[in-house]
Amino acid sequence: MPEKRVVLVTGSSRGIGATLVTEFAKDGFRVVLNYAHSQGEAEALHRALVGQHGADRILLRKANVAKRDEVKAMFDAAVDRFGRVDVLVNNAGLNIDGPFLAMTDEQWERVIATNLTGTFICAQEFALRFTGKAGHIINFSAATGLRGRKNGANYCSAKAGVITLTKCLAIELAPKICVNCVLPGQMNTEEVMTRYNLHDKPTLDRMLSTIPLGRLGTTEDVYRVVRFLVKDAEFITGQNFFVNGGMVL
């Protein structure tokens, strides 16, 4: 039987998010593709998905996840089009790195707003509308939310908050909604390659030497974990799932 469920993926115009909406569509889901700033990339992906799967299964919505009114409008549009949303993937994220002593209030607040407050707002608007019996919220965090790193006080704090928020939501939204957290490691996305200068082979080789499985992750690696949680994991909630090749054990 074809998949009838509806999935909304925030920050899905590129990188991991783009793979998630692409693969969910291939698996038969109806998908809501969200972006805040990358309009050109989002519209190009939307055209491609509509061409492959039909306009009745793909919805494109612009919304800044940190702004309640925009998130409400996005969920209302999804419910108007598809009748419901069954799965929320909180993928939208933002990095503004800098030394702690030089970090501005704006740098702190923007990163917290997107990564943590945005996850809170989207999860709440999803849960307020969900009337089914088997919903899923998949939050995205990072291992640095557990161990910290240099020049990332805002990002690491936000991702630590996401981990704890996941546990709180898993308790409060059970038994109708399962809430889990995926923590990707170093992926072969352009954002990661550029941020860590991994186009330079010696730098890449040093990075790979820290990963037991000996390669960067792919966005498809992340999708396989998300798909498992959404399609096959009926008795798992409040858990962290590391997709990092053993880089953090």
Amino acid in the structure at residue 56: D
Tokens of 184: 């990707």
Catalytic residue at 196?
no
- Active-site residue among 35, 155, 196, 223? 155
- Reply yes or no: is the peptide bond before residue 212 cis, omega within 30 of 0: no
Q: Tell me, rounded to whole angstroms, the distance of Cα 139 from its chain centroid.
A: 6
Asked if 61 and 71 count as a contact pair (C-beta separation under 8 A), the reply is no
Question: Residue 60 belongs to what H/E stretch?
Answer: strand 58-62
Distance, in Å, from the CA atom of 144 to the CA atom of 158, rounded to the nearest integer, reads 10
Asked if 207 and 198 count as a contact pair (C-beta separation under 8 A), the reply is yes
Among 237, 239, 121, which Cα is nearest to 178's?
Answer: 237
Residue 206, classed as helix, strand or coil, is: helix
User: Edge-to-edge strand order for the sheet containing 58-62?
Assistant: 58-62, 30-35, 6-9, 87-90, 135-140, 177-184, 240-243
What residues are annotated to the active site? 155
